[in-house]
Amino acid sequence: MRCPFCAHPESKVVDSRPSDEGSSIRRRRECLACHKRFTTYETMESLPLMVIKKDGSRQTFDKTKLLNGMIRACEKRPVAFATLEDMANEIEQVLQNDMDREIPSARIGELVMERLKKVDEVAYVRFASVYRQFKDISTFMEELNKLLAEK
């Protein structure tokens, strides 16, 4: 590991410990030349997930975009940010475990709606209204009636 202070190519590991709930390793290192210490993180490399959009275009999966969509749906609702982060992590894990490198955006939307419905029904309806692009009030009412019927 190259030293960020003097660019010397060699360093020694002083301390290693798990980080981010065991998904990475935090290492304290000391440069063998200047003796300054710095921290590195080692994470498992994962293959990028590609999202196939409705128009057929492809883009790399971005958990931040997923989280932002859920935050927008939960605006002014009593849903903790940590809950949304956990949901985003869970959805990403489900997609990684599927072993499909290309995922239709519809699959992601369904996973989000499935989880939002359990957490906050208003946020679920907000997300569904944008995601499913309700054309008129009757489509919106159909979704609300389905939600009421499930109770």
Beta bridge partners of 146: none
Task: Kindly report, residue by residue over 6-52, the tens digit of the pLDDT.
Answer: 999 999 999 999 987 777 899 999 999 999 999 999 987 667 889 99
What is the dihedral sign for C-alpha 54, 57, 61, 65? negative
The DSSP code for 109 is H
Longest CA–CA span in the chain (Å) reads: 71
pLDDT attached to residue 131: 73
Contact call for residues 51 and 60 (beta carbons, < 8 A):
yes
Beta bridge partners of 50: 60, 102
Torsion angle of alpha carbons 109, 112, 116, 118, nearest 10°?
A: 110
Residue 125 has pLDDT above 90, yes or no: no
At residue 96 the predicted structure's pLDDT band, cuts being 50, 70 and 90, is confident
CA 83 to CA 74: how far, in whole Å? 11
Beta bridge partners of 124: none
Residue 114 has pLDDT above 80, yes or no: yes
